[in-house]
Copies of this chain bind each other. A is one copy, B any other.
Amino acid sequence: MDSSSWIHGYTNANAAGNNGFMCGYSASCSPAGEYYFQDREQQQQLLVSSQMQHHLNQISMHMSMDDEPAAVYGGAPSNGARSMVDDLLIGSSSAHHAASSFPSSSSSSSFRSPSVSCSPESCVAHVLAVPAAATGFQYPEVSSQAPLCLAPLLPYEAPQHGHYTGLPLTELPATGGGAFRRYARHLGPRRPPKPGACGQRMFKTAMSVLAKMNMAMKCSRQYYYQQAVSAAPPAGNQLQHMISERKRREKLNDSFVALKAVLPPGSKVWYSTRTNKTSILIRAREYVKSLESKLSELEEKNRALEAQLASRTAVAKDEDYETAATDQASEKAQDLVEIEVTSGGAGAAAAEAEAGEESTETCTLNVAVTTPPSRAMSTTDVVLRTLQCLREQIGDGASLVAMSTSAASGGRPPRANLTLQLKEEMRPKSLHETWRRTIVMTMAEARTVATTASLDEYYDRANCTEEEEDGTTVDDAEEKRMTAEGRWEDKAAAKVVAGALPPGPSSDAAALALQRRTIIITSRCCFEEVSSVV
């Protein structure tokens, strides 16, 4: 084992590597004289740190190629320092000892480089043919024949796969917007200057280049004659495969951005620079579902409107309420607004302190729009409707203290927090009763207007809870769900059509429910008449 041995292990680490010298793409073999590196912009040689150049020189010297170092990596001067290679050799003077430690570090000692290689057409077709040739490395005494040996490989750069075989990349502008434009970033300097940060990469690059050179040399030396014909077809297949895969990836990514373009810009998917494909998929699904639900809802509304219009022409205006009520009842499952009532929360303490130490309690309503954010159901509408419902049903018992809303973000619907100040007779315990009383009252009133199945159903339940009103407070211990519907022009106030949940066990959930109860309010906002004014 001589010094060529570790270079050899070296080269092998690249040879079978994932992104090794086999199929790289960025720094292509220029047809001109600067082999492997083109002098476009201030290319790699400007980014190669002095340390890297040491290694390059070291390696090239090991490869006996230092007679033409300038031609190898773009004219960088060879200064003969051997710091890192020597560092790799310390601890053991055995050659393969040092070699064995090379790829062990995941971040700095892996010599693969996806960004530098021959053009695939040339290097893959020929270097791939003899990928493990370096394992033997029987001829370390390589001279400047290397460029000469690469010369016959260059004709393979001719594109043969449509515009995707701009892979030689000498034809691709660095900022080209066409296919495979993503690969153009490997052409220029890897980053804006940022000196000293690309040393490892440059090292890998250099190693890859040198390994490739070594390959090519061996190829041209003595084994080229026999492997060029036998192994060329599989190499071409590999190349084709790689190109196809690139094409496929590009198509997939384009589809991703195309899909993202049609999604509503309501989420942080759009605000982040990175695309996060999973979020795109999830949001696309949500959006599709929301669109479908909205569409069905609108379809139903449309159908009801048409029916209403048809009936309007026939009979008098007495049926207006009837149809309007039934129209609403049919939509009560949609436009759900979930209102969570939390009494005496931590956030309410500040508001209460600001309002003075009265004997009133604060009650926070967390209003979350469960319907997808749409034009007809914006946060303003929901807040407006909620306030109206509160005003209608509680009256002066509660007064608004503070409010905050958060726009829809991250797929979550917009939220609104209302902090109310309840009057003495409106403590949370009695608030619930107030709700129920309001419901019953409006029920009684609504019954005079329209009677539907759901109304009757609720009335049965309301009667059921009414008998609890006498002594027990069981109803406070359970969550109640109610639906309130109303129209602006409907002076008969909200018509509660859905009933409360059946009373559960009264003792266990009592403490919890005293602090938090959830009420579902179906709030249909009819702003059409108002909006038409603007």
Determine the chain B residues whose CB is within 8 A of the CB of A111 once the complex forms: 16
Contact yes or no, A312 B310, CB < 8 A: no
Determine the chain B residues whose CB is within 8 A of the CB of A100 once the complex forms: 130-136, 218, 223, 227
Determine the chain B residues whose CB is within 8 A of the CB of A206 once the complex forms: none
List 17 A–B pairs whose Cβ atoms lie within 8 Å, in order of A's numbering: A1-B136, A5-B136, A15-B103, A97-B136, A106-B128, A258-B285, A259-B284, A262-B289, A287-B288, A305-B309, A313-B317, A392-B533, A395-B534, A403-B403, A407-B421, A434-B534, A445-B533
Contact yes or no, A13 B15, CB < 8 A: yes
Contact yes or no, A132 B438, CB < 8 A: no
> What's the Cα separation between A106 and B230 when bound, in Å?
12
Stretch at the interface among A44-52, A188-196, A349-357: A349-357
Within 8 A of B (CB), among A108-136: 109-112, 128-136
Contact yes or no, A401 B407, CB < 8 A: yes
A-B complex: 9 closest residue pairs judged by Cβ atoms: A96-B136, A9-B135, A12-B12, A100-B133, A255-B281, A493-B533, A18-B18, A403-B403, A104-B231
**A512 to B: closest C-beta gap in Å:** 28
Q: Is A303 an interface residue (CB 8 A)?
A: yes
Digit string of A221-241 for contact with B (CB within 8 Å is 1, else 0)? 001001100110011011001
Within 8 A of B (CB), among A193-248: 218, 223, 226-227, 230-231, 234-235, 237-238, 241, 248
Contact yes or no, B409 A355, CB < 8 A: yes
Q: Is A472 an interface residue (CB 8 A)?
A: no
Contact yes or no, B130 A104, CB < 8 A: yes
Contact yes or no, A532 B307, CB < 8 A: yes
A interface, size bucket: 35 or more
Q: A281-B259, A288-B263, A384-B388 are in contact. Are A10 and B132 (CB under 8 A)?
A: yes
Task: Tell me the A residues contacting B by CB distance below 8 Å.
Answer: 1, 5-6, 8-10, 12-18, 20, 91-92, 94-97, 99-107, 109-112, 128-138, 218, 223, 226-227, 230-231, 234-235, 237-238, 241, 248, 251-252, 255-256, 258-259, 261-263, 268, 271, 277-278, 281-282, 284-285, 287-289, 291-292, 294-295, 298-299, 301-303, 305-310, 312-313, 316-317, 320, 354-357, 375, 378-381, 383-384, 387-388, 390-396, 398-407, 409, 416, 421, 434, 438, 441-442, 445, 488-489, 491-494, 527-534
Q: Closest residue of chain B to A380, judged by CB?
A: B400
Q: Which of A106, A303, A406 has the most CB of B within 10 A?
A: A106
Q: Which of A132, A226, A262, A277 has the most CB of B within 10 A?
A: A132
Q: A107-B234, A291-B295 are in contact. List 19 more A-B contacts (CB 8 A).
A: A8-B135, A16-B18, A92-B226, A94-B136, A101-B231, A103-B132, A104-B235, A106-B238, A262-B289, A262-B292, A263-B288, A287-B288, A291-B291, A302-B302, A310-B528, A355-B409, A403-B403, A493-B530, A493-B533
**A338 to B: closest C-beta gap in Å:** 18
Q: A105-B231, A133-B96, A136-B5 are in contact. Are A383 and B388 (CB under 8 A)?
A: no
Determine the chain B residues whose CB is within 8 A of the CB of A527 once the complex forms: 391
Determine the chain B residues whose CB is within 8 A of the CB of A13 once the complex forms: 12, 15-16, 131-132, 135
